[in-house]
Structure 1
Amino acid sequence: MTSSDTVIDTVIAALRSGHDALAATVSSFSDDDLARPSGSSEWDVSEVLSHLGSGAEIGRATLAAALAGAPAPGRDFMTSVWDRWNAMTRRLRADGFLRSNRALTELYESLDAETRANLRVDLGFLPEPLDVAALGRMRLSELTLHAWDVHVAFDEHATLAPDAVPHLLDGAPGLIGWAGKPERLDGERAAVLVTTTEPATEFTLRLDERITVDSDLPDKPDGTLLLPAEAWLRLVAGRLAPRHTPEGVATTGAADLGLLRRVFPGY
């Protein structure tokens, strides 16, 4: 088994553990639970589940099309799925999420080793098709962050699923430029040394005309940020409000959490 094979397998395993954990919670929800405000400021819990469920339905159709050698579903299909889920009651959204996300997870699990290694999936909006590991990591990011949106409605100290964090951390450099808003720096420029725990990593966050991260560590950073890896991922995703920030996060110099929260407002 190659390291690439291992990545694919562990991503799919994380999709399974993430589904099982969220499904166990959702299965116990009352109608009042589904109506609670979620960690996503504009959605209640049922709307988060609607987003995850409709995304799973579209994701499954896209993966199935690639397996069949057919074109990816188009915009009209996606719009029809979103419209149907938006029209559901809260209970139907919860029940639909359980079915839809389970079906997507099972489809990933059904892929044999050759398919996991060689299949390429055209999403229709990226420059080139994705391999299964990249596609699975995209879904894992969505599932993990929105699962947090659900869990934090009931526990303000909720954290991201540990199985998912290493995979999402690997994909974070590509996310930074999209998630970061350099116009909110108000002209400030800084190189921040970021140190994470669980897992332990070091990298440089560059706050400039573009927001980037890289492994070139500065001799004299403008600031330092020490925090758990899952908290870093939540910061970048706009989910590290003061009440959701774990103890032990430490900053110096230009690594001001207020500034960083403005630069990463969430999505």
Structure 2
Amino acid sequence: MTTDRAEATIKALRTGHDELAALVRDFTADDLARPSGALEWDISQVLSHLGSGAEIGLATLEGALEGTGNPGGEFNQSVWARWNAMSPAERAEGFLTANEALVLRYERLDAAARADLRIDLGFLPAPVDVATAGGLRLSEFTHHAWDVKVGFDPTAALAPEATELLLDQVGLLIGFVGKPAALDGRQVTLAVQVTSPDRSFGLALLDTAAITDTPAEPDAVLTAPAEWWLRVVTGRHAPHHTPATVALTGGTITLDDLRRVFPGF
């Protein structure tokens, strides 16, 4: 049910915030200046992105609750400009405050709002329910939390409490972020087998990328932890961040090919 998914998503947002916040509170100036998993950002810039996104997300949620609608592009620009001008220490402190406020507002939604509220995110053709809006924030938060963690631990993984929820919605993203043209005209169908949680499905790399039913005769078979599969789709798949348990068999496509198909965004 939608309300069950909304509740699970809000719980994952809370767990993710508490875990990352515990790390951020102990960061030194040198820690905030370290490179992150996002190639063009240091740790403080990732926290700035998460903090500004939380501030915009809260204003968007309040707009839905109050009936005033999406705050609009000019508001977003003003938020980003303010966060970009912050010092690294201010970004870290601001993240702690802004993300806590967003998670707490989600937690305070009653059962009716979790089921019936529709939120205009500003970039989708129609308003969405709490489960969808929260799920999009969970995806953003979980992957950028990984960007922070991997700056200190190259073996870091996505948060397990978020992985199953994100696995269920990744099909919505595949067609936008996949670039099968990187295969230079080859068309490949893969059987994908992921673990923790265990799932099996297909990945068709044709004119576009799409999740499908598991093919009876795939060109290749990808076996990987579910969290790594999610990181593939979002471009967080460098060889030194790839677990030894990842395997791709079949000979028609390599892991490097797959990395080119999903370059990140």
TM-score category by the smaller chain? over 0.9
Q: CA deviation at 1:248?
A: 1.2
Distance in 2, matches of 1:138 and 1:222, equals: 32
TM-score (norm 1): 0.97
Q: CA deviation at 1:117?
A: 0.4
Distance in 1, matches of 2:211 and 2:183, equals: 16
Classify the secondary structure of the residue corresponding to 2:103. helix
Partner of 2:157: 159
The answer to whether the Cα contact below 8 Å between 1:192 and 1:255 also exists between their aligned partners in 2 is no
Q: Which runs of 5+ in 2 are unaligned?
A: none
1:56 partnered with 2:54:
yes
Q: Aligned letter for 1:90?
A: P
Partner of 1:180: 178
Classify the secondary structure of the residue corresponding to 2:39. coil
Render the CA deviation track for 1:120-171: whole Å, top value 9, x for unaligned: 0012221111100000000000000000000000000000000000110011
Runs of 4+ in 1 over 4 A off after TM superposition: none
**Of 96, 101, 104, which aligns to 1:103?**
101
Partner of 2:237: 240
Classify the secondary structure of the residue corresponding to 1:163. helix
**Of 226, 229, 253, which aligns to 2:226?**
229
Partner of 2:137: 139
The answer to whether the Cα contact below 8 Å between 1:52 and 1:97 also exists between their aligned partners in 2 is yes
206-215 or 129-138: bigger deviation: 206-215
1:218 partnered with 2:215:
yes
**Of 231, 235, 249, which aligns to 1:252?**
249
Classify the secondary structure of the residue corresponding to 1:120. coil
Percent of aligned pairs with the same amino acid: 56
Partner of 1:15: 13
Q: Which runs of 5+ in 1 are unaligned?
A: none
Render the CA deviation track for 1:178-234: whole Å, top value 9, x for unaligned: 11112211111010000000111111100111111122x221100000001000000
Q: CA deviation at 1:60?
A: 0.2
Q: Say how many residue pairs are matched.
A: 264
Q: CA deviation at 1:4?
A: 2.4
TM-score (norm 2): 0.98
Q: CA deviation at 1:6?
A: 1.5
Distance in 2, matches of 1:166 and 1:219, equals: 25
Q: Aligned letter for 1:234?
A: R
The answer to whether the Cα contact below 8 Å between 2:193 and 2:201 also exists between their aligned partners in 1 is yes
Partner of 1:261: 259
